[in-house]
């Protein structure tokens, strides 16, 4: 699976593959990855806003 497709799935932009097995550990891992990706994007937006305000 490509990285961009995985990011799209984390952000609910792309539907996940129904054939792919989903275990409890896999759900937890994807949940943590989703949270970290969202926090990273918020951080980038904050940095850009601060740079543009000065």
Name the residue ranges covered by the structural domains of the chain: 3-53
User: What pLDDT does residue 1 have?
Assistant: 58
* Predicted local confidence at residue 51, as pLDDT: 94
Say if pTM beats, i.e. exceeds, 0.85: no
Position 47 scores a pLDDT of 97
State the sign of the Cα–Cα–Cα–Cα dihedral 11, 8, 10, 7: negative
Per-residue pLDDT, 8: 77
Residue 18 has a pLDDT of 73
Q: Give tens-digit pLDDT for 15-47.
A: 777 777 778 887 888 889 889 988 999 999 999
């Amino acid at each position: 699976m490509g990285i961009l497709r995985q990011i799209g799935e984390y952000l609910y932009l792309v539907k996940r593959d129904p054939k792919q097995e989903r275990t409890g550990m896999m759900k937890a891992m994807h949940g943590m990855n989703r949270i970290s990706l969202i926090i990273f994007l918020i951080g980038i937006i904050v940095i850009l806003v601060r740079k543009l305000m000065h």
